[in-house]
Amino acid sequence: MGTGMGMSMGMGMSMDPHAIRVFGAVHRYHQGPGAIGLAGEVAASLGRQPLLVADEIVHGLVFDTAAAACRRHDLDLRWVAVRGDVTRAAVQRLVAEARVGGRQPDVVLAAGGGKGVDTGKAVSRELGARLVVLPTSASNDGPCSKAFVYYDDAHRMASVEFLPRNPDAVLVDTNLLVQAPRALLVSGIGDALCKLYEGEQTRNNGGLNLFGGAGTIAAQQISVACDRVIREDAVEGLEALAAARPTPAFERLTEALVLLSGLAFENSGLSLAHSLTRGLPLAEGSETTLHGFHVGYGLLVQFILEQRSPDFMARQLAFHRAVGLAVNLAGLGVHDTGAATIRRIADGTMASPHLKHFQRPLSAADFENAMQRLEQLTA
Ligand SMILES: [Zn+2]
């Protein structure tokens, strides 16, 4: 997630947004084995007519537990089925379905990886309902954020959208997350690992965060903690997947990927690592590679453009390899790494709104050179 511009705060001309610190966050975050059993208590605190928005597979994973939890609080949980991409038309269909019989759901439970959560966010906004997010993997920074993405019918990103406020609650059931495919967790690691470094570039270069204000000490410290936990716990946390049982390292890693990563990007801002996600999908082979792998690669390109030392680069490459992140284009599924491909990626990257969050202006040629350099480093 995270291609949005700062929102206008609608302030008077006399107020400089760079002088106003702002921090926004999910209202309540619960994480641990069985956390989905809190769905009833949480939904009952927010409304009377809960609605699960999820695809059929996720429905199979969460509905029985969530519905039983709702019944204990005299709530009847209904479900509308997500099919395909998060498009405006798909969301309108689900909203109409949710209102059948004159009903007016007032709490949306948005469940899934990326699509289910984003669709649920969109449906909650259309209904004017409260929002509880139930992620089924730690694959990205979306669950705690107020942002989501609309796609068009050709599966291309159409727009970045914002909810009027962050989710009311996020329930992260680590018994579920520990059963998700390894690639999803690795993607979440890539999406979270860049946050400290993108945030630093934003902070150091006068950028605004996604709430349209200056960053805080809180946001900076959260970003540092996010980085530290990933470096310390990612390898051990990934091992929990084999036994399908959450361990302390898995719990710490999950908090870093879902809570800290989300807080970090919204409250700090994005820079080059996420800018590469504009260009990389234009290279044949990488279209289906998960977001966090693109961002993880983008972070290495950012480090090269930051002119980091050979020692620093060697440590970064070793960590990427240890967790299974891509260190070059082949790792993203791009097999034609000729100059034309690299130029196409660089040109696409230049469309990113985050390029201004960097220590100097960059050209497409700068990105081409950095990507070539990374190919040489990892040959
Ligand atoms: Zn992201």
Q: What is the pLDDT of residues 33-50, one digit of tens each?
A: 999 999 999 999 999 999
For residue 158, report the distance from its CA to the centre of ligand 1, in Å: 16
pLDDT at 362 over 70: yes
Contacts of residue 312, Cβ cutoff 8 Å, sequence gap at least 6 = 303
For residue 97, report the distance from its CA to the centre of ligand 1, in Å: 31
For residue 190, report the distance from its CA to the centre of ligand 1, in Å: 8
CATH number of 29-177: 3.40.50.1970
Higher-scoring residue by pLDDT: 16, 67: 67
Gap between the Cα atoms of 249 and 91, Å rounded: 37
For residue 194, report the distance from its CA to the centre of ligand 1, in Å: 9
Averaged confidence pLDDT in the chain: 95
Question: Within 13 Å, how many C-alpha atoms sit on residue 350's CB side?
Answer: 14
With bands split at pLDDT 50, 70 and 90, how would you rate the model's confidence at 10? low
For residue 270, report the distance from its CA to the centre of ligand 1, in Å: 9
For residue 2, report the distance from its CA to the centre of ligand 1, in Å: 5
Q: Measuring CA to CA, which residue among 146, 137, 139, 151 is closest to residue 167? A: 146
For residue 85, report the distance from its CA to the centre of ligand 1, in Å: 18
Please state, for a pLDDT cut of 70, what percent of the chain lies above it: 97
For residue 41, report the distance from its CA to the centre of ligand 1, in Å: 31
Region 181-204 average pLDDT: 98
Contacts of residue 105, Cβ cutoff 8 Å, sequence gap at least 6 = 47, 49, 50, 51, 78, 98, 99, 127, 129
For residue 227, report the distance from its CA to the centre of ligand 1, in Å: 15
For residue 201, the model assigns a pLDDT of 98
Over the stretch 118-137, which tens digit does the pLDDT of each residue have? 999 999 999 999 999 999 99
For residue 295, report the distance from its CA to the centre of ligand 1, in Å: 7
Gap between the Cα atoms of 148 and 135, Å rounded: 14
For residue 282, report the distance from its CA to the centre of ligand 1, in Å: 17
In the CATH scheme, what architecture does the domain 183-377 have? Up-down Bundle (1.20)
How far CA 264 is from CA of 17, 211, 239, 338, 344, in Å, comes to 19, 12, 25, 35, 30
Gap between the Cα atoms of 279 and 286, Å rounded: 10
For residue 191, report the distance from its CA to the centre of ligand 1, in Å: 5
Question: The whole model's pTM is what?
Answer: 0.94
CB atoms within 10 A of CB 330: 15
What are the start and end residues of each CATH 3.40.50.1970 domain in the chain? 29-177
With bands split at pLDDT 50, 70 and 90, how would you rate the model's confidence at 1? very low
Paired sense of beta strands 78-81 and 29-32, if any: unpaired
pLDDT at 2 over 80: no
Gap between the Cα atoms of 276 and 12, Å rounded: 35
What are the start and end residues of each CATH 1.20.1090.10 domain in the chain? 183-377
- Length of the chain as a residue count: 379
For residue 342, the model assigns a pLDDT of 98
Region 198-210 average pLDDT: 96
